Amino acid sequence: MACCNISFVIVLVLFLSGGMTRLINGESVQKSWCVAKPNADETKLKDNIEFGCSKVNCSPIDRGGSCYEPDNYVAQASVVMNLYYQAAGGGSWDCDFGGTGLITTTDPSYGTCHYV
């Protein structure tokens, strides 16, 4: 009986934390975005931008684009990393970027820059 109580508690915790949804559907029900960690190495962020732009349309971070400002690596890498993350399916592995990515459930959109 102790084994069954422990199993029930584990299932209950997974269900209440949303883990059950992930196990059944293979993806999160709650919307999420991928952004660059604020303390990420600038060289790695440049590499992330280069990699991401080889896979997705990076026109939002081009000069005059809706996400060009602020013109810094964290902001622009965040846009590109999220575009890739969404296009690749939104799995946690799609936001790793060598440990420089961070998944958030808070919409990072600002001003004219709207994250998908």
- Of the options 3.40.50.300, 3.10.620.30, 3.30.1280.10, 1.20.58.1040, the CATH number for the domain spanning 31-116: 1.20.58.1040
Query: Distance between CA atoms of 93 and 6, rounded to whole angstroms?
Result: 30
pLDDT at 14: 37
What pLDDT band is residue 10 in, cutting at 50, 70 and 90? Answer: very low
**pLDDT value at position 111?**
97
Average pLDDT over residues 34-41: 98
Banded pLDDT at 4 (limits 50, 70, 90): very low
The Cα–Cα gap between 106 and 89 comes to 18
Who wins on pLDDT, 14 or 45?
Answer: 45
Alpha-carbon gap, residue 22 to 33, rounded angstroms:
16
Model confidence band, residue 105 (pLDDT cutoffs 50, 70, 90): very high
Q: How confident is the model at residue 113, as a pLDDT?
A: 98
Using pLDDT thresholds of 50, 70 and 90, give the confidence band for residue 27.
low
82 backbone dihedrals φ, ψ, rounded to 5° = -70, -40
**26: pLDDT strictly greater than 90:** no
For the record, the structure tokens of 62 come out as 């081009």
